[in-house]
C-alpha cells in the first residue's frame, strides 16, 4: 500500500485523551450555559420590541417570565409612560394555536367583563385596535408564527396551583361564586362562528381509545409507560361508561366554559378570589362538564396517602355556593336534576380529559420529566377509580345541595 498520499490516523495516548476530554467538558458546560442565556436575552428583546412597536403603553423597563404554566409562556412586564410606571401581563401562545381560537377567547373575555365578571384580566388593545399580535420568528422554511397578547396585570396573591389546591372553605365558596358569575355573564355569548379546534367533551371521548392505544403501542421502556399500559384497560372501561342518552343531553345547558378552572388560575386576597385568568382553553360545551372538571381540579387531594381522593365535603361547599349565586343572579339557571344525575360521569369526563392532556403532553415530548408526568397520571387514574367506587356517595352529596 502506497502511503505517500495518505494521512496516518494516530491513536492518542491516555494523557492527551484526558486533556482533550477536559477541554470537551468545559466546552459542553459553556454551551449549556450559553443556550439559556441567549434564549432569555431573545425573549427579553422580543417582548420589548413587541410592546414598544405594536402597543402604546410606554417603554419596557423590566421583563420577568412567570413560571407555572404548561402550554403558553407568560411574562410580567413594567413599562414607563409620561413619567408613570405600569405593570402588564404578556402571553406568548403555544405555537400550534389557531387564530380563531384566540379570537374566541378574547371575545369571550370581553363579553364576560361587560356582563359582570369584572375581576377577569382585561385585554390591552394594540395600536391597530386588535387584541393580539402575530410575529414571525425565523426565515423561509425555518419560520414560525407566534401570537402574543397583553393583559392588565391582576392584583392579588398567586396562592395555589393545580396540584396545590388545599383551599379554605371560604375560598372554595368564593371560587364557586366566581365560576357562577362567569357562566352567567356569558350565557348569551355569540361566538360568531368561532370555535375551539377541540371537540365538545361527548364528541371528544369516543376518539380517545384509538389514540390511547397508539400511545400504548409505542416502544418505550420507563415507569410512565409501564404504568399507563397497566391502567389502560381501566381507563378505556371508564370512557366506555360515559354514555348519556340524547334526550338527557338535550336537558343539559350548553354554555361557554373556562375549561381550566383551578386554584392556580385564580388570584386571592383575604380568603376571596379577586382575579381570574387563563381563558385560552375556553370553549362552548356542557355546563355540567365544567362543573365536573372544576371539582376534580379543586377538590381532589394531592396529599400523600389521600392522593386521588375526591373530598365530597369540599365538593358540597363548592356546589352549594355555585347554586346559591346563580339563584341570586337570576339569569342562568342553577344545576338541574338531569345535570346532577350525571355528575359522576362528568367527574370522570374531567379525569379522562386531564389524562388525555397528560398523555398527549408526555408522548409528544419524551424529554419531559418522566417522574413529574407519572405523578400527574397516577393522580388522575386514582381519582378516576375513586369516583367509580363512590358513585352513590357522590349522588347522595349532589342531591343534598
Band of the pLDDT at 199, cuts 50, 70, 90? very high
The predicted pLDDT at position 141 comes to: 77
With CA atoms as reference, report the closest residue to 289 among 356, 247, 359, 350: 350
- Please return the burial class of 192, using the count of CB atoms within 10 Å of its CB with bins 0-12, 13-18 and 19+: exposed
The predicted pLDDT at position 3 comes to: 65
169-399 and 21-152 share a CATH fold: no
Segment 125-131 shows an average pLDDT of: 98
The predicted pLDDT at position 317 comes to: 98
- Please return the burial class of 26, using the count of CB atoms within 10 Å of its CB with bins 0-12, 13-18 and 19+: exposed
The predicted pLDDT at position 285 comes to: 98
Segment 371-378 shows an average pLDDT of: 98
Residue 1 has pLDDT above 70, yes or no: no
Band of the pLDDT at 311, cuts 50, 70, 90? very high
Q: For residues 244 and 344, what is the distance between their CA atoms, to the nearest angstrom?
A: 12
Q: Where are the beta strands (DSSP E) in 207-246?
A: none
The predicted pLDDT at position 13 comes to: 75
DSSP 8-class letter at 265:
G
pLDDT digits (tens, 9 = 90+) for 214-256: 999 999 999 999 999 999 999 999 999 999 999 999 999 999 9
- The ranges assigned to domains in the chain are 21-152, 169-399
Q: For residues 397 and 392, what is the distance between their CA atoms, to the nearest angstrom?
A: 9
The predicted pLDDT at position 10 comes to: 72
Residue 360 has pLDDT above 70, yes or no: yes
Segment 29-40 shows an average pLDDT of: 76
Residue 320 has pLDDT above 80, yes or no: yes
**Candidate from 35-39, 80-84, 283-287 with smallest mean pLDDT:** 35-39
Residue 374 has pLDDT above 90, yes or no: yes
The predicted pLDDT at position 35 comes to: 75
The CATH number of the structural domain formed by 169-399 is: 3.90.1200.10
Residue 365 has pLDDT above 70, yes or no: yes
Q: For residues 85 and 371, what is the distance between their CA atoms, to the nearest angstrom?
A: 42
Report which secondary-structure segment, H or E, holds 25. helix 14-54
Task: Tell which wins on pLDDT, 365 or 24.
Answer: 365
Percent of the chain with pLDDT over 90: 84
The CATH number of the structural domain formed by 21-152 is: 3.30.200.20
Segment 72-100 shows an average pLDDT of: 95
The predicted pLDDT at position 27 comes to: 79
What are the φ/ψ torsions at residue 6 (nearest 5 degrees)? -125, 160
With CA atoms as reference, report the closest residue to 64 among 50, 84, 44, 94: 44
Cα 32 from chain centre: 29
What are the φ/ψ torsions at residue 385 (nearest 5 degrees)? -65, -35
Q: Are strands 272-276 and 254-257 parallel, antiparallel or unpaired?
A: unpaired
With CA atoms as reference, report the closest residue to 194 among 69, 97, 55, 70: 97
144, β-bridge pairs? 137
Q: Are strands 272-276 and 266-269 parallel, antiparallel or unpaired?
A: antiparallel
Task: Tell which wins on pLDDT, 160 or 11.
Answer: 160
Amino acid at each position: 500500500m502506497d502511503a505517500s498520499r495518505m494521512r496516518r490516523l494516530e491513536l492518542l495516548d491516555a494523557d492527551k485523551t484526558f486533556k482533550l476530554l477536559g477541554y470537551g467538558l468545559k466546552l459542553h458546560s459553556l454551551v449549556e450555559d450559553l443556550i439559556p442565556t441567549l434564549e432569555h436575552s431573545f425573549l427579553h428583546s422580543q417582548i420589548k420590541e413587541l410592546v414598544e412597536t405594536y402597543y402604546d403603553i410606554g417603554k419596557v423597563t423590566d421583563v420577568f417570565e412567570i413560571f407555572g404554566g404548561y402550554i403558553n409562556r407568560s411574562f410580567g412586564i413594567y413599562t414607563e409612560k409620561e413619567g408613570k410606571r405600569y405593570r402588564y401581563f404578556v402571553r406568548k401562545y403555544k405555537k400550534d394555536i389557531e387564530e380563531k381560537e384566540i379570537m374566541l377567547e378574547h371575545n369571550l373575555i370581553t363579553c364576560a367583563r361587560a356582563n359582570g365578571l369584572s375581576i377577569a384580566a382585561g385585554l390591552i388593545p394594540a395600536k391597530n385596535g386588535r387584541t393580539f399580535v402575530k410575529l414571525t420568528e425565523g426565515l423561509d422554511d425555518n419560520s414560525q408564527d407566534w401570537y402574543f397578547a397583553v393583559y392588565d396585570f391582576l392584583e392579588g396573591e398567586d396562592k395555589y396551583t393545580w396540584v396545590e389546591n388545599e383551599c379554605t372553605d371560604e375560598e372554595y365558596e368564593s371560587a364557586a361564586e366566581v365560576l357562577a358569575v362567569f357562566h352567567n355573564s356569558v350565557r348569551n355569548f355569540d361566538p360568531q362562528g368561532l370555535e375551539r379546534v377541540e371537540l365538545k367533551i361527548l364528541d371528544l371521548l369516543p376518539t380517545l381509545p384509538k389514540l390511547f392505544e397508539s400511545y400504548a403501542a409505542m416502544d418505550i421502556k420507563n415507569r410512565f409507560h409501564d404504568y399507563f399500559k397497566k391502567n389502560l384497560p381501566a381507563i378505556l372501561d371508564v370512557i366506555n361508561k360515559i354514555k348519556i342518552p340524547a334526550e338527557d343531553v338535550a336537558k343539559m345547558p350548553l354554555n361557554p366554559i373556562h375549561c381550566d378552572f383551578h386554584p392556580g388560575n385564580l388570584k386571592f386576597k383575604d380568603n376571596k378570589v379577586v382575579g381570574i385568568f387563563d381563558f385560552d382553553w375556553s370553549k362552548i360545551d356542557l355546563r355540567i362538564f365544567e362543573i365536573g372538571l372544576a371539582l376534580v381540579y379543586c377538590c381532589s387531594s394531592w396529599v400523600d396517602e389521600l392522593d386521588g381522593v375526591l373530598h365530597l365535603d369540599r365538593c358540597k361547599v363548592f356546589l352549594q355556593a355555585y347554586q346559591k349565586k346563580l339563584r341570586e343572579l337570576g339569569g342562568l339557571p342553577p344545576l338541574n336534576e338531569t345535570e346532577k344525575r350525571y355528575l359522576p360521569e362528568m367527574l370522570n369526563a374531567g379525569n379522562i380529559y386531564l389524562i388525555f392532556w397528560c398523555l398527549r403532553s408526555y408522548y409528544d415530548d419524551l424529554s419531559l420529566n418522566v417522574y413529574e408526568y407519572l405523578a400527574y397520571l397516577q393522580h388522575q387514574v386514582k381519582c378516576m377509580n375513586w369516583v367509580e367506587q363512590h358513585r352513590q356517595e357522590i349522588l347522595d352529596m349532589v342531591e343534598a345541595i
